[in-house]
């Protein structure tokens, strides 16, 4: 595919609701509500009809559990990379990670954490369809929320303001 032929997609998914047992933060599992949210988010992603080329998932337990439940709902499971750098990532870390995505990837799913997912959506999107940007600004990026961002060009060119927010959804919408 030519880089300019059609837009690429970055789909951001925040992990579902986590439990608070006495374990290190990285090891926190999903709560029962989170397991339900993850399945619903997976159905939402399936309904969007996007075939993902790659899923990059934080190595934290709650993001891995979220991905397992989401992936179960998809018609095709993409190649998956579990990435330590997504855990506790800053906006700068996330932007740097995006520039490392292989050029053959057109549709990317990132499964991560706040405040990074919200910061990335906010930074990338200079415009939006419908009222998605206003809803993102108003509601933040709650657990199991999904933002679909399109942009044109190579991954190495991903920077502030290059994207368009084409969909934004949260389980409680």
Q: CB–CB of 42/69 below 8 Å?
A: yes
Paired strand residues for 111: 13, 57
- CA 69, distance to chain mean position in Å, is 14
Q: Is residue 57 a contact partner of residue 82, using CB atoms and an 8 Å limit?
A: yes
- What interhelical angle do 116-124 and 91-98 show, nearest 10? 60
d(CA 173, CA 50): 21
Q: Is residue 62 part of an annotated ligand binding site?
A: yes
Residue 63 φ then ψ, to 5° = -75, -40
Written as six digits, the tokens of 137 are 């600004």
Binding residues: 62
Binding residues for substrate: 62
């Amino acid at each position: 595919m030519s880089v300019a032929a059609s837009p690429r997609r970055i789909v951001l998914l925040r992990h579902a609701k986590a439990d608070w047992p006495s374990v290190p933060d990285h090891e926190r599992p999903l709560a029962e509500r989170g397991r339900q949210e993850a399945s619903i988010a997976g159905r939402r992603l399936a309904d969007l009809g996007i075939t993902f080329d790659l899923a990059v998932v934080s190595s934290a337990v709650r993001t891995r559990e979220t991905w397992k439940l989401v992936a179960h709902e998809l018609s095709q499971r993409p190649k998956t990379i579990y990435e330590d750098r997504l855990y506790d990532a800053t906006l700068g870390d996330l932007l740097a990670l995006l520039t490392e995505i292989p050029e053959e990837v057109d549709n990317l799913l990132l499964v991560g954490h706040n405040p990074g997912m919200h910061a990335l959506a906010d930074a990338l999107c200079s415009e939006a369809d419908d009222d998605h940007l206003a809803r993102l600004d108003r509601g933040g990026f709650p657990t199991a929320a999904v933002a679909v961002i399109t942009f044109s060009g190579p991954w190495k060119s991903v920077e502030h303001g290059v994207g368009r927010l084409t969909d934004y959804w949260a389980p409680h919408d």
